């Protein structure tokens, strides 16, 4: 099974997750963008639970016009396939330009994640 995130991204996500778990006021830029090429869903992930290494926190956009911050398990994302049987992929060209809260504010105003 192909990994959704690189080891470098995992390290950064866990570092952000540790800061979040200790109550630090953290508003990082997303580390990775995942998406379904055939189902209009996207996830901008900013932190990973350092205890389980599977529960990610970020902005979720399931293509329903109601993006929100929350958690998702990487193991669950790895099992998702869209209507054309395409799996979730990592956006290899994603370079964050805003903090997670700014992406969230814009996505909620526009009804979807915008780059």
Cβ–Cβ contacts within 10 Å for residue 82, how many? 15
Render the burial of 60-78: b for 16+ CB within 10 Å, e for the rest.
bbeeeeebebeebebeebe
The 10s digit of each residue's pLDDT in 29-81 is: 999 999 999 988 999 999 999 999 999 999 999 989 899 999 999 999 999 99
pTM: 0.93
């Amino acid at each position: 099974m192909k990994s959704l995130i690189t080891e470098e991204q995992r390290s950064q996500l866990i570092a952000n997750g540790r800061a979040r778990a200790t109550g630090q006021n953290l508003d990082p830029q997303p580390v990775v963008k995942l998406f379904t090429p055939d189902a209009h869903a996207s996830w901008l992930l900013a932190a990973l639970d350092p205890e389980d290494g599977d529960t990610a926190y970020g902005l979720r956009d399931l293509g329903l016009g109601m993006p929100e911050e929350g958690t998702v398990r990487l193991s669950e994302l790895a099992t998702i396939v869209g209507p054309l049987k395409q799996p979730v992929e990592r956006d290899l060209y994603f370079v964050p330009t805003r903090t997670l809260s700014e992406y969230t504010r814009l996505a909620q105003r526009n009804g979807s994640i915008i780059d």
